[in-house]
Structure 1
Amino acid sequence: MEEISGNGDAHGNLLKPNSIHASGSFKSSLSGRSGARNSPAFRRLQSSRTPRRDLRSGSWSLQWIRSNRVVFWLLLITMWAYIGFHVQSRWAHSDHRQKEFVGYKDGAFGVKNQEDASKDSKSNGSNPPNFAVKEPKGGKNIKNSDSSDSKLSVKRITSMVKSSMSKRGRRVLKKVAPKVPVMESTENESDDVLIPKRNTSFGLMVGSFGNIEDRIFEWSPEKRKGTCDRKGRFAKIVWSRTIILIFHELSMTGAPLSMMELATELLSCGGYVKAVVLSKKGGLMSEFDKRGISILEDKGEISFKAAMKADLVIAGSAVSSSWIEQYLRRNPAGSNQLVWWIMENRLEYFNRSKNMLGQVKMLTFLSDIQSNQWLSWCKEENIKLKSQPMIVPLSVNDELAFAAGIPCSLNTPAFGAEKMTEKRDFLRIEVRKEMGLSDNDMLVMTLSSVNPAKGQLLLLEAAHLVTGRNVSQRDPIIIESELSLHFIQNQTAVAEHLETNQTGNAVVVKRKPTSKASKKRKRKRSRSNSLSLLDDAETAKQDQRKLRRLLSDKIGAEEQSLKILIGSIGSKSNKVSYVKRILGFLSQSSNMSKSVLWTRATTRVASLYAAADVYVINSQGVGETFGRVTVEAMAFGLPVLGTDAGGTREIVEDKVTGLLHPVGHEGTQILAQNIQFFLNNPPARKKMGLLGRQRVQEKYLKHHTYSRLAEVFIKCMKVK
């Protein structure tokens, strides 16, 4: 019988190998050392072992989306609509500035256009506009002098953007391009370039002296912030209220500075402040950051919605009429919470805003003269106001009052008013030393924007008459009589008060007989009152004698020399053509140019007031609306030489706190006489300065302004 082979059955048929055993045998034979791991058989076996879960989790979902074309296109349309809405909303809320959006190439193309513009200007032979490079936040500082490095960096950025876009050309959406330094025009500050730091033809550029102030006053930015009077009426009204402030610009002039200080006071008293800035040109942006004043990015729809939710809206200039018109068009009911604090007094500003004057809740003005002028214009145009206007004059802020030695909220036991007066005198010595002035120099200062309305050229013409000795001296007897009359009036008032008090006491005693003890007490009171009043009368007589002695005494053998300080160079409101006229006038007189100093626009003016001897406010036309710098100079004890017009007439009492002169060329000769009088009579100017300082303490401090603003807020603020 034949043997049966291992691969067949009993009948000789071949048997199929069991799949389970076969696979197991193959696995055992190939999984050991004898099998090659990279052999084709091993790769075939491992490739066939793909788990079903991976297929279901990854490729199945993509296959399902591809198979459902409707769902696929709906997803694409939704993504495209969302991205378009995102781009449009960012553009609408970005104040129309140049920014990088998804799918746009503004950064690279903006730099290229500027380079092309500069090439075109060079080819045409014209001078390219001046640009200042502003570095984005968080970036490295780019120096203006390293022009080659900046050009290389711009080229690198553009090449990177182009290469990244070429790699992702098939994609519809592209990443945001890297930020490029923004180029801003600096044409408004070209007058600062016209005046070099040292030149015998133009004069000397001085300041600013902020570091000297900090060293002498020993204060930090935290100490410079005034504290709110929590018990006062103003603080109780604005606590937890939301107030919108409208700034027409951020220049270092009266209206923006006053509105900025109002925002600071509101924040200090617990209010919520949001600022709407119509023009961001100026130098106050850094001050806003230091004081924590938030600015709304959009001056359009976002500002209108914020104003609708606010408790009060205050517009700080007649230039804000365009914003007011658009806001009331969207929200007519908002006029009941709208206050318009107008700080201009020219017909052009009235014509610009006359259509909206009768639609706001209340108008506020700075002086009676300004209010009467605007009301007469309204009467001519038949404009009916909703309410009677109120007068809210400007005041000296706490920082300047503290530096001037006037009691304010910044005073502490270690830094009282007397201590600060000593520091102010020491500051005067240090600053005058930096300016190169001697004790024999009389510094006449004017701090205003340099334009024809401020009359700096007329001031220099008057000074030219003084230095050339072509001016007739004013008779000091006339001014002495005026000052004497001022003290006589005070003495008469004291005497009348004394007589009425004595007669009143006599009548009271006769009509109401009382006990002996009460009679004794009343007699003691009447005696003490009469003695105090007699002391006041005696003090007035002594002051009158001292005044006569001061006016009769001269400085001595040596005569004082005249120096003039003009600011503010670099201000947005300066007129370059007018600055060139002034420089041309100085170049024709070598003696005059040696007496002129220049200073840049700055908020640190305490050192300038401390160094000066006389202040000049030579506003032309209808005069100054109020004169914020006038009351600041008076706070430092400076006599004022001003035009007899506008708000200066209300602030300065002629021949008492200063001397007034007519506007125009007619007043140039009188202004020269007034300067010559102060040169010859230093004691008289010191006495006038002290009287002006007393007037500021009586009428123009911070609590005077905010007490009147409290009345305005009560009438116009939204009732909770």
Structure 2
Amino acid sequence: MAKNSAAVRGWPLMVLLLIVLFTAIIFFIKAAYDSCNAHGYVQTESFNRLKPIPSMRFQENPLAFMKFKLVLLVSHELSLSGGPLLLMELAFLLSGVGTEVVWLTNQKPVEPDEVIYSLEHKMLEKGVKVFPAKGQEAIDTALKADMIILNTAVAGKWLDAVLKEDVSRVLPKVLWWIHEMRGHYFKLEYVKHLPFVAGAMIDSHTTADYWKNRTQERLGIKMPDTYVVHLGNSNDLMEVAEDTVARRVLHEHVRESLGVRKEDLVFAIINSVSRGKGQDLFLRSFYESLQIIQEKKLQVPSLHAVVVGSDMNAQTKFETELRNFVVEKRIHDRVHFVNKTLNVSPYLASIDVLVQNSQARGECFGRITIEAMAFQLPVLGTAAGGTMEIVLNGTTGWLHPAGKEGVTALAENIIKLSTDVNMRLRMGKKGYERVKEIFLEHHMSHRISDVLKDVLRKAKNNA
């Protein structure tokens, strides 16, 4: 009898494991099908208007016209940072419709690098060709290509260094995808060819305006036709975000690994650890919120902070400062550092609130923000950069000032969400609805397809 009881008790666990296994298999082998139940918008700086994007139901992939085209992608580096990963995603979208895609990485370390090896291998598996950035093969590909996409301002150095006297021949078919918001990228050596390319693609209106003003004022050059293209979440990420079983399993597993209980509240910042991303000010806000809770004797769950984006192998001076602050304030049992990762889904499934604390002019867009909203997480973000074009203040999250003046404001917003579970759930739901409306992969594909068509037309006219 005891054996039968044990067997019965084991069935639910076995069923759950089978469901999780099935979900995992589907996730890894399913092709990137387009979502079919939402509407989005095309936004271009030239017209600064919104226009509906049709549903993808029964419709051709918006990038299908790129079949048989040759596209050269030039990235300044290959790493787990936003710019290279976005270009890789575009490479896969194009390769998926039959485009011949060639990838060049302009700056690579002399020594073998595990991250670069892994990312290059992933591209090769997806049908993307990876060539050396210098040499005759790179020049021949650039001259034959139907389109060249330079990724980030720094990639501009590749033009003169490799193409030399052939630069003028390729400029009419260059699309320059710019993600940077900081002043030190405004160097003539990087962007002197910018006025002569077919167009610039930028992820937010705020960044586009900034580039337009700064290039004119600081460098005395004019921006080319500029396209503002908001990003979208990949179909793979949305599958996990909308899979209740997968989310629950990830939630429990990650929390267990961090030593966080089911009833605890977790606030996470997910960016490469650097001063510009504001992890130091976030931790100060987190500590201040703990002090306020203690002083006012507020009844809230135990709060935890997770910093995803560390580099355990090469801790920087800045990261050492973060860890020393945690020890000094005796909050090491509440703050958890996690190494940088290509897969953020497990952490988004396991936390309660995302903090987007990028400083100065903020993020150009901030892909992690819409990824968190897909997981129905409220967002606490700085009122700067592209975050203001994503987060609806008071509806899908709360915004606070960048800089030191934002520390107390962020602490207060942490307390707001800690003390009001209904607010967290309501904001998370509204954020998810906003993602479904304008921030899906097929929305981004439509927006990018309009840009690529325009660039191809210009390249043909200037041939």
TM-score by length of 1: 0.54
Matched, 1:559 2:300: yes
1:378 aligned to 215, 225, 232, which one? 215
Superimposed CA distance per residue, residues 350-387 of structure 1 (whole angstroms, 9 cap, x where no aligned partner): 2253312112110111000000111111332332344x
Partner of 1:481: none
RCO comparison, higher one (Cα < 8 Å, 6+): 2
Partner of 1:290: 122
Which residue type is aligned with residue 676 of structure 1?
I
Structure 2: distance between partners of 1:581 and 1:400 = 33
Which residue type is aligned with residue 304 of structure 1?
I
- Cα contact 1:212–1:427 (8 A) shared by 2: no
Partner of 2:247: 424
Which residue type is aligned with residue 152 of structure 2?
S
Structure 2: distance between partners of 1:644 and 1:598 = 25
Q: Offset at 1:214?
A: 7.5
**Matched ranges for 1:4-153 at <5 A:** none
Superimposed CA distance per residue, residues 164-216 of structure 1 (whole angstroms, 9 cap, x where no aligned partner): xxxxxxxxxxxxxxxxxxxxxxxxxxxxxxxxxxxxxxxxxxxxxxx999747
Which secondary structure state, in structure 1, belongs to the residue aligned with residue 354 of structure 2?
strand
Which residue type is aligned with residue 303 of structure 2?
L
1:645 aligned to 377, 384, 405, which one? 384
Structure 1: distance between partners of 2:315 and 2:172 = 38
1:705 aligned to 444, 451, 461, which one? 444
Q: Offset at 1:250?
A: 1.4
Indicate the structure with greater strand content.
2
- Cα contact 1:313–1:337 (8 A) shared by 2: yes
- Cα contact 2:68–2:99 (8 A) shared by 1: yes
Structure 1: distance between partners of 2:251 and 2:318 = 31
Partner of 2:336: 597
Which residue type is aligned with residue 675 of structure 1?
I
1:218 aligned to 24, 36, 58, which one? 24
- Cα contact 2:27–2:239 (8 A) shared by 1: no
Which secondary structure state, in structure 2, belongs to the residue aligned with residue 320 of structure 1?
helix
Which secondary structure state, in structure 2, belongs to the residue aligned with residue 616 of structure 1?
strand
Q: Offset at 1:265?
A: 1.0
- Cα contact 2:63–2:445 (8 A) shared by 1: no
- Cα contact 2:153–2:191 (8 A) shared by 1: no
**Matched ranges for 1:183-582 at <5 A:** 215=21, 217-219=23-25, 222-223=28-29, 225-227=31-33, 231-232=59-60, 234-280=62-108, 283-292=115-124, 293-326=128-161, 327=163, 329-352=165-188, 353-380=190-217, 381-386=219-224, 388-405=225-242, 420-469=243-292, 559-570=300-311, 576-582=316-322
Which residue type is aligned with residue 83 of structure 2?
A
Which is greater in Rg? Answer: 1
Structure 2: distance between partners of 1:231 and 1:329 = 43
Superimposed CA distance per residue, residues 271-317 of structure 1 (whole angstroms, 9 cap, x where no aligned partner): 11110011235625313323423210343432122110111110111
Structure 2: distance between partners of 1:298 and 1:236 = 28
Superimposed CA distance per residue, residues 292-343 of structure 1 (whole angstroms, 9 cap, x where no aligned partner): 2321034343212211011111011111011123436324121111100001
Structure 2: distance between partners of 1:581 and 1:216 = 43
Structure 2: distance between partners of 1:471 and 1:307 = 62
Matched, 1:661 2:396: no
Partner of 1:688: 427
- Cα contact 2:212–2:223 (8 A) shared by 1: no
Structure 2: distance between partners of 1:369 and 1:465 = 31
- Cα contact 1:251–1:571 (8 A) shared by 2: no
Q: Offset at 1:464?
A: 1.0
Structure 2: distance between partners of 1:313 and 1:611 = 39
Structure 1 gap segments, 5+ residues each: 1-210, 406-419, 474-556
Which residue type is aligned with residue 197 of structure 2?
V
358-367 or 423-432: bigger deviation: 423-432
The 1:453/1:690 distance shift into structure 2, 3 A limit, reads same
Q: Offset at 1:236?
A: 2.6
The 1:437/1:575 distance shift into structure 2, 3 A limit, reads closer
Which secondary structure state, in structure 2, belongs to the residue aligned with residue 593 of structure 1?
coil
280-289 or 647-656: bigger deviation: 280-289
Q: Offset at 1:248?
A: 1.2
Identity rate, percent: 30
Q: Offset at 1:558?
A: 5.9
Structure 1: distance between partners of 2:167 and 2:286 = 54
Structure 1: distance between partners of 2:438 and 2:349 = 21
Dislocated runs of 4+, deviation >3 Å: 211-216, 227-231, 470-473
Which secondary structure state, in structure 2, belongs to the residue aligned with residue 437 of structure 1?
coil
Which secondary structure state, in structure 2, belongs to the residue aligned with residue 468 of structure 1?
helix
Q: Offset at 1:431?
A: 2.7
Partner of 2:49: none
Partner of 1:33: none
Q: Offset at 1:613?
A: 0.2
Structure 1: distance between partners of 2:116 and 2:30 = 16
Which secondary structure state, in structure 2, belongs to the residue aligned with residue 670 of structure 1?
helix
The 1:225/1:214 distance shift into structure 2, 3 A limit, reads farther
Partner of 1:518: none
Structure 2: distance between partners of 1:280 and 1:385 = 29
- Cα contact 2:255–2:350 (8 A) shared by 1: yes
Which secondary structure state, in structure 2, belongs to the residue aligned with residue 626 of structure 1?
coil
- Cα contact 1:362–1:716 (8 A) shared by 2: yes
Structure 2: distance between partners of 1:678 and 1:401 = 24
- Cα contact 1:227–1:268 (8 A) shared by 2: no
Structure 2: distance between partners of 1:300 and 1:711 = 32
Which secondary structure state, in structure 1, belongs to the residue aligned with residue 360 of structure 2?
coil
The 1:702/1:593 distance shift into structure 2, 3 A limit, reads same
Structure 2: distance between partners of 1:687 and 1:647 = 23
Q: Offset at 1:242?
A: 0.9
Structure 2: distance between partners of 1:366 and 1:472 = 42
Which residue type is aligned with residue 286 of structure 1?
S
Structure 2: distance between partners of 1:627 and 1:693 = 16
Q: Offset at 1:234?
A: 3.0
Structure 2: distance between partners of 1:329 and 1:393 = 35
Matched, 1:587 2:327: yes
